[in-house]
Amino acid sequence: MFSREPNTDYTTALLLCKDKVIESCSYKKCRYKGLLLSKREKIRSENMEMESQEIINPKMKKYLLILNCVMLGIGISGGPLVMRLYYIHGGKSIWLSSWLETGGWPLMIIPLLVAYFRRLRRRRGGADPTQAAKLIFINTNTFFFAAIVGLVAGAADYCYAYGVKHIPVSTSSLILATQLAFTAVFAFILVNQKFTPYSINSIALLTFAAIILAVHSNSDKPAGESNGQYYLGFFLTLASSALFALMLPMIELTYKRVKQSVVVINYSLVMEIQLVLSFSATVMCTVGMLASGDYKEYAREMQDYKLGKAMYFVVLICSAIVWQFFYLGAAGVIFYGSSLLSGVIISVALPITEIAAVFFYHETFQVDKGVSLLLSLWGFISYFYGEAKEIKKQKKRQQRNNTQSIDVES
């Protein structure tokens, strides 16, 4: 299709294809010719801006994917531990805990500003130094869609915070591991996620690991908790698992919607979407906090906190920071990988949380938890082995296509 311009890269080729479609439409509907051509120029400028900012080779993409996997692992492992630390030493507010899960969103302004100044420096060193660098990339439609995803995240935050308050960390972690099965279903529905035998095997192993732990979870009710609170915490944690699983494919769907309009999407736009998502969830939790009057008890809670006033603020700040690792890491894994991969990383990291809970909070580590850990690692290896084979197949397929294209041109 693009044989006349063999030196044109993939992104430019797609842009030229879009130009041809727009021009052909403008010839049929002359009344909209000016509007369509101006839209074409807007699309072209947006794509050139994004292209000039970030061109990532496959090797760098792999490293960035690993970095975001590590961030996601830190967030999902450390977040529940810090949240439980708040509760066991005198913290009582569910709304405050849920607020902290996304309340650290201003931290993302720092890397966004760094990225902007990098664009500004590159623009000044370019062919047209007088043209201003783009400050933000997110458009109105993407903004509102990200805000809706943020409301889902806010609901998940509250359900999870309630669960962590009334059930042990190990139990809440094993329940949250079921999100992988939910993620697989929602990813198939929303973004047409394709499954391989290895990914299906991974999902089965990780789900089975969670089931093994769930069978033995009825004997770990914390002292002082009623049966009603315990079971409500259990089911709300399960609800948070489903909501988190819905959120991940919705984020991937947001990226797909953006790609349909501007072709190129960069990590700055990913951070902007995540900032809007976190801000929306934080607003939702703030409204709940004010409506319930929960904030009136914070001064007394700080005074009575067993670790002292200073540690009270340290715990809150650390909770906000660690949970931002989770959300930004999840967004990055979805951007460089997929929502299903994000779900796999979360499920693999949860047994680490259980082991840490044994050391820090002296929770029991039985044989079933060891079996669950081994099954989780097996599922993790199975998924990435399948992905490696799929990448090799795609490279071979691409080489065949390139060979055929050269033969046609000659």
In a domain, 405, yes or no: yes
10 within domain boundaries: yes
Q: Confirm whether 381 is domain-assigned.
A: yes
Residues 42 and 89 in one domain: no
Distance CA 57, CA 165 (A): 44
In this structure, are 44 and 104 located in the same domain? no
Count of H-run helices and E-run strands, the chain: 15, 0
Quick one: pLDDT at residue 58? 72
Q: Is residue 61 part of a domain?
A: no
Question: Is 370 within 8 Å of 352 (Cβ atoms)?
Answer: no
Count structural domains, the chain: 2
Instruction: Based on the fold, state whether residues 39 and 188 are members of the same structural domain.
Output: no
pLDDT band at 27 (very low <50, low <70, confident <90, very high): very low
Residue 163: inside a domain, yes or no?
Answer: yes
Based on the domain organization, do 1 and 130 belong to the same domain?
no
Residue 58 lies in a domain: no
The per-residue pLDDT for range 389-400, each reduced to its tens digit, is 877 887 777 777
Provide the 10 A C-beta neighbour count for residue 319: 26
Domain with 37, as residue range(s), is 1-53
- Whether 118 shows a pLDDT value over 80: the answer reads yes
Contact 98, 285 (CB under 8 A): yes
Record the tokens describing residue 342, joined without a space. Answer: 């994000």
Domain assignment of residue 188, yes or no: yes
Residue 25's pLDDT is 45
Task: State the chain's mean pLDDT as an integer.
Answer: 78
Highest mean pLDDT range out of 120-124, 146-150, 185-189, 194-198? 146-150
Same domain, 165 and 189: yes
pLDDT surpassing 90 at residue 210: no
Q: Is residue 60 part of a domain?
A: no
pLDDT at 132: 58
Q: What's the mean pLDDT in 254-270?
A: 75
Same domain, 199 and 330: yes
